[in-house]
Chains A and B, each alone.
Chain A
Amino acid sequence: MWKDLGMDLEKHDEFLAPVPEVYGKLFMAQENRPKGMGYFDFVVGDIHGIRVKELVDHKANGGKVVASFCVFVPDEIITAAGGVSIGLCAGAQFPVPTGEQVLPRNLCPLIKSSVGFKLDRICPYFQVADFVVGETTCDGKKKAWEILDEFIPTHVMELPQRRAEADKALWMEEIRRFKEKMEKESGVAITAQKLAASIKIANEKRAALQRLYNCRKADPAPISGKDVLLISELAFFDDPKRFTQQVNALCDELETRIVRGEGIAEKGAPRILITGSPMPIPSWKLHAIIEGSGAVVVCEETCTGTRYFETTVREDGATLDEQLAAISERALNINCACYTPNNGRIEDILRLVKEYNADGVVYYNLAFCQPYSIEYRKVEKALQEAGIPVIKIESDFSEEDTGQLQTRIEAFLEMLDK
Chain B
Amino acid sequence: MIYAGIDVGSVAAKAVILSNGKILSRVIQPTGWSPGEAGKAVFEAALAEAKITRQDVTRIVGTGYGRVALDFLDRAVTEITCHALGANYFFPANNLVIDIGGQDSKAILINKDGKVLNFIMNDKCAAGTGRFIQVIAMTLGLELDRLKELPPAKPATINSMCTVFAESEVVSLLTQNVPKERIVSGLYRSIARRTAAMAASLGSVRGVTFTGGVARIPGMQEALSDALGCPVNVPDNPQIIGALGAAILAKND
B104 with A417: CB separation less than 8 A: no
B43 interface contact, C-beta 8 A: no
List CB contacts (< 8 Å) of A337-393 with chain B: 389
B59 to A: closest C-beta gap in Å: 17
* Total contacting residues, chain A, CB less than 8 A: 13
B65 with A411: CB separation less than 8 A: no
Write the chain B residue with the least CB distance to A390.
B118
Asked, given contacts A414-B116, A415-B116, whether A407 binds B80 with beta carbons under 8 Å apart, the answer is: yes
Q: Which residues of A contact B104 (CB under 8 A)?
A: 404
B124 with A410: CB separation less than 8 A: no
Q: Report the separation of the CA atoms of residues A415 and B77 in the bound assembly, to the nearest whole angstrom.
A: 11
Partner of A414, one of B78, B117, B123: B78
Q: Report the separation of the CA atoms of residues A341 and B216 in the bound assembly, to the nearest whole angstrom.
A: 48
A407 with B121: CB separation less than 8 A: yes
B119 interface contact, C-beta 8 A: yes
B115 interface contact, C-beta 8 A: yes
B121 with A415: CB separation less than 8 A: no
A255 interface contact, C-beta 8 A: no
List CB contacts (< 8 Å) of B92-111 with chain A: 104
A411 with B81: CB separation less than 8 A: yes
Q: Report the separation of the CA atoms of residues A414 and B84 in the bound assembly, to the nearest whole angstrom.
A: 12
* Total contacting residues, chain B, CB less than 8 A: 15
Q: Report the separation of the CA atoms of residues A363 and B115 in the bound assembly, to the nearest whole angstrom.
A: 22
A321 interface contact, C-beta 8 A: no
B81 with A415: CB separation less than 8 A: yes
List CB contacts (< 8 Å) of A14-53 with chain B: none
- CB-based A-B contact count at 8 angstroms: 36
B79 interface contact, C-beta 8 A: yes
Partner of A401, one of B79, B116, B124: B124
Q: Which residues of B contact A404 (CB under 8 A)?
A: 104, 121, 123-124
Q: Find the residue from B65, B81, B119, B124 having the highest chain A CB count within 10 A.
A: B124
B78 with A407: CB separation less than 8 A: yes
B184 to A: closest C-beta gap in Å: 28
Write the chain B residue with the least CB distance to A408.
B121
Q: Report the separation of the CA atoms of residues A311 and B107 in the bound assembly, to the nearest whole angstrom.
A: 40
List CB contacts (< 8 Å) of B73-96 with chain A: 77-81
Asked, given contacts A400-B124, A401-B124, whether A407 binds B79 with beta carbons under 8 Å apart, the answer is: yes
Write the chain A residue with the least CB distance to B121.
A408
Q: Which residues of B contact A403 (CB under 8 A)?
A: 65
Q: Which residues of B contact A410 (CB under 8 A)?
A: 77-78
A310 interface contact, C-beta 8 A: no
Q: Find the residue from A401, A407, A411, A415 having the highest chain B CB count within 10 A.
A: A411
Q: Report the separation of the CA atoms of residues A126 and B119 in the bound assembly, to the nearest whole angstrom.
A: 42
A120 interface contact, C-beta 8 A: no
Q: Which residues of B contact A401 (CB under 8 A)?
A: 124
A394 interface contact, C-beta 8 A: yes
A411 with B124: CB separation less than 8 A: no
B65 with A414: CB separation less than 8 A: no
Q: Find the residue from A394, A404, A407 having the highest chain B CB count within 10 A.
A: A407
A411 with B123: CB separation less than 8 A: no
Q: Report the separation of the CA atoms of residues A407 and B242 in the bound assembly, to the nearest whole angstrom.
A: 14
List CB contacts (< 8 Å) of A265-297 with chain B: none
A390 to B: closest C-beta gap in Å: 9
Q: Report the separation of the CA atoms of residues A410 and B79 in the bound assembly, to the nearest whole angstrom.
A: 10
Q: Report the separation of the CA atoms of residues A389 and B124 in the bound assembly, to the nearest whole angstrom.
A: 23
A interface footprint on B20-58 (CB within 8 Å = 1, 0 otherwise): 000000000000000000000000000000000000000
Partner of B116, one of A394, A400, A407, A411: A411
Asked, given contacts A403-B65, A404-B104, A407-B65, whether A414 binds B80 with beta carbons under 8 Å apart, the answer is: yes
A415 with B79: CB separation less than 8 A: no
Q: Report the separation of the CA atoms of residues A343 and B104 in the bound assembly, to the nearest whole angstrom.
A: 35
Write the chain A residue with the least CB distance to B115.
A417
Q: Report the separation of the CA atoms of residues A354 and B197 in the bound assembly, to the nearest whole angstrom.
A: 33
B118 to A: closest C-beta gap in Å: 8
Q: Which residues of A contact B115 (CB under 8 A)?
A: 415, 417
Q: Which residues of A contact B78 (CB under 8 A)?
A: 407, 410-411, 414
17 contacts between A and B (CB under 8 A): A389-B118, A394-B123, A404-B104, A404-B124, A407-B65, A407-B78, A407-B80, A407-B121, A411-B79, A411-B81, A414-B80, A415-B80, A415-B81, A415-B115, A415-B117, A415-B118, A417-B115
Where the two chains meet, the residues of A that have a C-beta atom closer than 8 Å to any C-beta of B are: 389, 394, 400-401, 403-404, 407-408, 410-411, 414-415, 417
